[in-house]
Structure 1
Amino acid sequence: MTVIVDQPQLGVDVEDKSTSTDSNELVLDGGFAVPETNSFGHTFRDYDVESERKKVVEEFYRMNHIHQSFELVSKMREEYGKLNRVEMSIWECCELLNSFVDESDPDIDEPQIEHLLQTAEAIRRDYPDEDWLHLTGLIHDLGKVLLHPSFGALPQWAVVGDTFPVGCAFDESNVHFKYFKENPDYSNPAYNTKFGVYSEGCGLDKVLMSWGHDDYMYLVSKENKTTLPSAALFIIRYHSFYPLHRSGAYKHLMNEEDVENLKWLHIFNKYDLYSKSKVRIDVEKVKPYYMSLIEKYFPAKLRW
């Protein structure tokens, strides 16, 4: 991977994958070396530590948990599922994200294009033969264009952050769970039981997730007939579903295909989370490679 600042690279050589010479790094499967602390000097996904972003992040989740109801998600999915906003390429969408910073993220405050390339390049280093996974790393957050005026300039609480099912009880593993008590679904007997409107093993594709960039990019990819494998679509749709892939919540809703795809999501999540840093990627140097993957798996122009 190409870096243009004098900092340690995100990966280590394959022959060194079992050890690390830096006591401040962890080595994950595949040889990926990651720092123990985020850009602010704290552990990753620590929502309680005092930091300059703590208040912003907590206010984000307060608004998110109050408003993400079954009714709202149903309306948003119907409206944005029409894909009638604009036609543009994948790379044009990447460039649109340059002006946005994710308010829900306690680990970094860099523009989104940096995170996309950090994730993709880290995966590419450790899984050189899985080009579909490289591209998934690049595009997984493109649904954040919902923040752009062309898409209605949705508030951040309706675009980013951890996702969770609506239509059944909110699990206590959700970040800042206390704010769900102000959500209208919290006291609605149709939605506040373990299964709610669902059934055991129904499959996550039958479950409404809180609205945001994950589900939107999934809809964009699926409806534009991408040839990416099902595992890629699963990653795109559920990469922010931390209650599931970090805490094991909501597994009673999964089917056998979900179980298999979750294995890939666990691999992906390491790179999505731990590649976040101040290390910058030489965009022009890696762009031709990713353009070739976009051409392989997507049409030239997509409906958004």
Structure 2
Amino acid sequence: MASPASNDQALGARARVQDAFAQAPVRFRLEFTHDRRSRELRWVLFAGTQRGSVGKLVFTLERDGAAHIKSLAVNAEYRGLGLARVLCLACLSSLRELAVSQLVLEAEEDTKRHGKLVGLYESWGFRQKPDEKVLFLYNDTQCFRKVPMALPCGDGAFLPVQPSAAGATWFFMLTLQTADGACLVASEDGAIAARKQAKSSPESLWQTLLGADGEIFLRSTHGKFLCVEESGHILADRQRNSTWETFQVVPHQQSAGAGGVALRDFHGNYLSIDPEQQAVVSSRDPVPWDGGDMMALVCNKPGAAPLFFKILRKLQTRAFVTQQVAAYGSCQHAALSVADACSWLARLNGDAGARDSWVIKYMLATAEAVRADGHPDWLQLAVFLRALGMLFLCWSDEDNAALRSISAREWLTQNTTWVVGQAIPDSVGFPELNALNSDHNDGAKSASGAAAAAAAAAVGIDSVTLPWTPDEYLFRVLEFNKASMPAEALQAIRFWSLRAWYVHGSYDALCAPQDFEVKEWLQSLVPYATRSDDALQHVQPDALMPYYLALADKYLPAVLQW
């Protein structure tokens, strides 16, 4: 049986740009319609956060070969994001195939804000029509002027290419900047610079199109895509988004304390803003970008928390865990022996086989350390099996796709959990991220967390709900398959990452008397959690695997339901 993960990216190899933000920015998409009765053509803007459109551009085709913009509007809450310009670029993309000579409109602006709207359209390339009158409209004390403007669409005019499958392409509006506010901006000729801009400046906003596999394409306010050439030269003059215009979003994992994502170009280098030169450069080493305020993606943001901590803190709520248990708790995805499961796990981690797999060597090294200290064989097996909990990510979906951004090393050596449904203790680490978790916020504001704690205390720590992690999944798989291992083995797997309890004592109020014995021997397992790279290099899977497969035969069915 072939692994479903064999053709996917390895764990931790890709990320989603929205996961770098504390609150994901709003997604948008465009849709084109042509009402032949009214002869109106429309580009309609939708947001992922609400039903119905949030903006539209309506235009008609005139007999003189021109196109006339009848209406251009964006809902008030989405103004200032450069979306009107995106609609205009979409309109321009339609003119190529329609053989339109010029695009015309009337800029209707309040005379108290003289030149503001006209100036905006002029920055888009429109010019006031010299042979037509400006009309003035009066409404009580208000006065508006209506300025006829036109944008030539001759042979020399730039007409952006309409993105393929426009109705299915989601995008964000983002700024890319340094911590001190220098923004990535593009001029009309494609030249790139990093300079300080007003937050509301449309020049600093990039239409960030999302690819099918999480890659992004950055489109400037001039309708051209950011490109990194083979030489490393960066510019934004490309009409189409193809190979050199592609940026893969990857977790920034160069150091344990690094946060955010890195933007890898087609040539394997990384997009960066040099703060000293105020220049946009291509770096050989990964450079972190992390979410800032609003829509800002910040290069080398100080104090950024690791991406996987941010993902887990946002995602792991009681509602999410309930959903995941419903999806995976019935163990209907595959039937695998432990040997087959190890092969699947190696592929999930991007390895061709067990012999050179970091994750398989980690499983064996930790189990061997437990074995060397004379612990019973059921505990050796439990420690060996623990990494197999990552197999649920072979069948990930849109709801838990962000969990694939977490590497096997992070899952196994750095993951730390808490009891969901109530406030998260500071001992979990990076307590500044706790506010991202809705359960934490609700538990801190109400007595429901205390009530849940009191109810749980009556039956002990086994009754709590933990985050949906590989440990929790494997615990449920072994229970479902009626493993004959002692209860302590399953507790070791389930509570392995709950260090907030057995190291820091955060949940003692939830414990029944017998739980304190469990807590004590869980503390004795702490040294086995990490193995040095040097120790892993000396592990020989071919020699050790038969012993642990024999233990699996002793305590588990020959084939497990996953």
TM-score normalised by the chain length of structure 2: 0.41
Scaled by the length of structure 1, what TM-score is found? 0.73
CA distance in structure 2 between the aligned counterparts of 1:241 and 1:268, rounded to whole angstroms: 12
Post-superposition CA distance 1:104-150 (Å, at most 9, x none): xxxxxx7321211110011111116x1111111101221111222x4
Hey, what does 1:126 align to over in structure 2? Answer: 373
Q: Given residue 278 of structure 1, which amino acid in structure 2 is its aligned partner?
A: D
- How many Å separate the matches in 1 of 2:382 and 2:255? 31
Return the match for 2:556 from 277, 298, 303.
298
Q: Which residue of 1 aligns with 2:329?
A: 81
Q: Which has the larger radius of gyration?
A: 2
- For residues 543 and 484 of structure 2, the distance between their equivalents in structure 1, rounded to whole angstroms, comes to 25
- How far residue 63 of structure 1 moved from its aligned partner, in angstroms, is 1.6
1: CA distance, partners of 2:445 / 2:381: 36
Q: 1:101 to 1:192 in 2, by over 3 A?
A: farther
Please list every run of 5 or more consecutive structure 1 residues that lacks an aligned counterpart in the other structure: 1-49, 103-109
User: What is the Cα deviation at residue 157 of structure 1?
Assistant: 7.1
- Structure 1: which amino acid aligns with 2:463? K
Write out aligned runs for 1:141-290 (5 A).
141-148=387-394, 150-152=395-397, 154-156=401-403, 160=411, 161-189=415-443, 193=447, 195-199=450-454, 200-273=457-530, 275-279=531-535, 280=537, 281-290=539-548
Bigger fraction of residues in helix? 1
Structure 1 position 154, deviation (Å): 4.1
Retained in 2: the 8 A contact 1:115–1:276?
A: no
For the Cα contact (< 8 Å) 1:191–1:197, is it kept in 2? no
Rounded to whole Å, the distance in 2 between the matches of 1:132 and 1:96 is 23
Q: Which residue of 2 aligns with 1:136?
A: 382
Which one of 293, 302, 316 corresponds to residue 68 of structure 1? 316
CA distance in 2, matches of 1:157, 1:164: 20
How many residue pairs get aligned? The number is: 245
**Which whole-Å CA distance do the structure 1 matches of 2:445 and 2:416 have between them?**
19
CA separation in 1, counterparts of 2:464 and 2:422? 9
Q: SS of the counterpart of 2:533?
A: coil
Residue 270 of structure 1: how far off its partner (Å): 1.6
Greater RCO, 1 or 2 (C-alpha within 8 Å, sep 6+) = 1
Asked if the contact 1:93/1:142 (under 8 Å) is kept, the reply is yes
- Provide the C-alpha distance between the structure 1 equivalents of 2:445 and 2:359, rounded to a whole number of angstroms: 34
Structure-2 change in CA distance of 1:66 and 1:95 (3 Å): same
Q: Distance in 2 between matches of 1:195 and 1:202?
A: 15
Instruction: Tell me what 2:306 maps to.
Output: 58
Gaps of 5+ in 2: 1-252, 260-304, 351-356
Instruction: Tell me the CA shift for residue 198 of structure 1.
Output: 3.1
Alignment of 1:95-106 (within 5 A): 95-99=343-347
Q: 1:191 to 1:295 in 2, by over 3 A?
A: farther
In structure 1, distance between residues paired with 2:324 and 2:405: 9
- Report % sequence identity: 26
- Contact 2:483 2:556 (8 Å CA) reproduced: yes
Q: Is the 8 A contact 2:389 2:473 kept in 1?
A: yes
Give the match for residue 117 of structure 1: 364
After superposition, the CA RMSD in angstroms is: 2.6
Q: Secondary structure at the match of 2:450?
A: coil
Please report how far the alpha carbon of residue 71 of structure 1 lies from its aligned counterpart in structure 2 after TM superposition.
0.8
Q: Which residue in the other structure is 1:29 paired with?
A: none
Aligned residue number for residue 47 of structure 1: none
